[in-house]
A and B are shown apart, each in its own frame.
Chain A
Amino acid sequence: MSVRTNVDKTVAVSVMGQIVSPGFPGLPASPYMVTADGKPFLLPTYGGIVYNVSVGDSAYGWAADTIHPGVSISLKDDTGNRGLNLFACVGNTAVIMTGDARGTKGVVTGKSGRFSEQVIIHFDLATREKLVIGDKIVIRAQGVGMDLLDHPDVKLKSCSPELLENLEVTSGENGKLNVPVVASVPAHLLGSGAGLTSEGGSLHIQAADRAELAAAGLDQLRLGDVVALQDFDSSWNHGFLRGALGVGVVGQGDSPRNGHGPGITLLMTSMTGGINPVVTPGVNLSDIFGLSN
């Protein structure tokens, strides 16, 4: 690891979830959600086993609403699910404990927030074929409590030792942490998730204004891309602050809903500008972890 941490003092602990079914409100509720232009839509959304969308694929263009690549898990018990959502870190190893694929390992690639609170895991396609909704998956959660010893102004969030090891971050001569990212999101294009916790959940890019999205160079993002969040402090919630900067990974796909778009799982934040984002093409979890389909 090219930066010093207290990883040897961080605790690895089991958190379990079960593959969650996609859900909709019960009758007589209308099944439709509404686009930013007020049009009703009915599309696959978060949860379930997604067979044909994976980390590395485009975050845009799917006939879906904030789709989760791979497999989504949660726990019915609220406090237990909170533990799962808070302690699971991007890059942690997940092991299938029940069913035909038991023993197979996957990798945590993201989390979702308010109204879903699920953890998103990559398994290869052959494994996905063997899975059943309800299968139990244990994540060896490690990363919460991890600090960068030479960068006290940078807070890690949902960032596993495995990810930090492979992300190729370096300490710059100016004392800042250099982090490779594919793009930077300006604050006015960050929407849903603002004001909510940054220890789990997601912060969404706003994609309703397609011209603005393209102008910011964000319309080609892939699931798993690492991005910077400009002028946003995510120390204890997500919120606007000039000079602050966060780094996160695109965990969920685009959405037709206003204030929404690709969902970002936060990895690190500095309220005092201690992170220097270095734009580097292709910084994606699929390459970082060698994820195969």
Chain B
Amino acid sequence: MSLRTNEAQLVAMAVTGNVSQPSLRYPGYTLDTNGVGRVWPGMAGVVYNARVGQPAFGWAGDHVEPGVSIANPDAAAEFALHYLSCIGNRAVVTSGMAKGAEGVVTGEHARMLVNFPSEANDLLCVGDSIQIIALGRGLQLLDFPQIEIKKISPRFIHSMGIEVAGGKIRVPVTMALPTRIMGSGAELNSEYVDQDLMTGDRDLMAELGIDQMKLGDVVVIPNADHRWGRGYRKDAVTIGLCIHGDSVMTGHGPGILTIMSSSEPVIEWVIDPNANIANYFQIGEVS
């Protein structure tokens, strides 16, 4: 049985943002789980040497946002950028030396995250305009109305290797995450940005193999209901996407973007180490 969607009814619409500048607040320290002050890069800007497909753990950085982070200075336009852009959407540089270069949306954090080839990254200037052809908001699985879909483009849904059988879908994921380590982001609605893992218990991360997570991994959170907000619900299932790297801060860690959720047991999963958007979108190594 094939995965039937309403994608013929989706509207494609342009939204835009600008390459962001990293910013720090004086005195710049982020406290780690032991209370030690750290000054580390990671968020915003063009990150030249971290991209999806690479490890989410181990960087000398905090909340590392792979690739290019873009934002819109107008608050309403910024929300449109966040709410309408979907993973797998096409992005085009529309000003500056890299004008015309094409990339792909890989995540949503405090800014939208876009992957471009290294040659384009080298030519990007802070402030350059990037336009996203937003397509995917409103996407539904026609045979599974109980599954809430968030920020999945048609390109993404068809590249995930989803199987349909027995009135359920089966999604390839790299790993399963326990709800008790789902942390920062619980205070936000689940249409907006991500929820961090709480990785302060380093022994547990190693025991469960969570420290092997890669940027761009598709993961499952059993007993989590992320349809409206993010919280615990027995037997609910949420599928997420790792969009940023680990953090030293208590209650933080790699960011998991909600992409699918159901309170009814219709989402199954199969462990597949290749369940990563770097594979789905043919994103190569850093050159």
Residues of A within 8 A of B (CB): 34-38, 113-115, 186-189, 191-196, 204, 206, 208-209, 211-212, 231, 233-242, 257-260
Residues from chain B with Cβ under 8 Å of A235 in the complex = 33, 35, 250
Q: How far is the CB of A197 from chain B (nearest CB, A)?
A: 10
Cα of A237 to Cα of B33 in the assembled complex, Å:
8
Q: Is the CB of A257 within 8 A of B229?
A: yes
Sample of 12 further A-B pairs with CB below 8 A, known A188-B223, A192-B187? A36-B225, A36-B233, A113-B187, A191-B230, A194-B186, A206-B231, A234-B250, A235-B35, A237-B250, A240-B251, A257-B229, A258-B225
| CA distance in complex: A212, B234 (Å) | 8
- Whether A231 lies near B229 (C-beta < 8 A) is no
Expressed in whole angstroms, the Cα–Cα distance for A113 and B184 within the complex equals 13
Report the separation of the CA atoms of residues A190 and B61 in the bound assembly, to the nearest whole angstrom.
27
Complex Cα distance, B196 from A206, in Å, reads: 17
Residues of A within 8 A of B180 (CB): 186-188, 231, 240
Residue pair B31, A242 in contact (C-beta under 8 Å): no
B200 at the interface (CB under 8 A from A): yes
Complex CA gap A37/B148 in Å reads 11
Q: Is the CB of B250 within 8 A of A208?
A: no
What residues of chain B lie closer than 8 Å to A241, measured between beta carbons?
33, 200-201, 250
A188–B190 CA distance with the chains assembled, in angstroms: 18
> Which residue in A34, A114, A186, A233 is a CB contact (below 8 Å) of B250?
A233
| A258–B231 touching, CB < 8 Å | yes
Q: How far is the CA of A115 from the CA of B189 in the complex (A)?
A: 13
Interface string of B215-238 (1 = CB under 8 A from A): 000000001011111111110000
Say yes or no: B187 contacts A114, CB within 8 Å. yes
A195 and B251 contacting across the interface, CB-CB below 8 Å:
yes
Total A-B pairs, Cβ < 8 A: 130
Are B232 and A212 in contact, CB atoms less than 8 angstroms apart? Answer: yes
Chain B residues near A186: list those with CB within 8 A: 180
Instruction: Say how far A181's CB is from chain B's closest CB, in angstroms.
Output: 20
What are the 5 closest A-B residue pairs judged by CB atoms, nearest first?
A195-B184, A258-B229, A195-B251, A239-B251, A239-B250
The verdict on A195 contacting B196 (CB below 8 Å), with A187-B180, A239-B251, A242-B204 known, is yes
Bound CA–CA A237/B31 (angstroms): 9
1/0 per residue, CB under 8 A from A, across B227-268: the answer is 111111110000000000000011110000000000100000
Q: Say yes or no for B181: interface residue by CB 8 A criterion.
A: yes
Any A CB within 8 A of the CB of B279:
no
Q: How far is the CB of A229 from chain B (nearest CB, A)?
A: 12
B252 to chain A: closest residue by CB: A195
Indicate if B21 sits at the interface (CB-CB under 8 A).
no
Provide the residues of chain A in CB contact with B196, threshold 8 Å: 195
**Inter-chain contact B185/A209, CB cutoff 8 Å:** no
Contacting pair A191 B251 (CB below 8 A):
no
Q: Are A188 and B232 in contact (CB under 8 A)?
A: yes
Q: Is B19 an interface residue (CB 8 A)?
A: no
Which of chain A's residues has its CB closest to B184's CB? A195
Q: Would A36 and B187 count as touching, CB distance under 8 A?
A: no
Q: Is B5 part of the binding interface, using a Cβ–Cβ cutoff of 8 Å?
A: no
> What are the residues of chain B within 8 A of A211 when measuring CB–CB?
234
Cα separation A1 to B203 with both chains bound (whole Å): 38
In the complex, A36→B231 CA distance in Å? 8
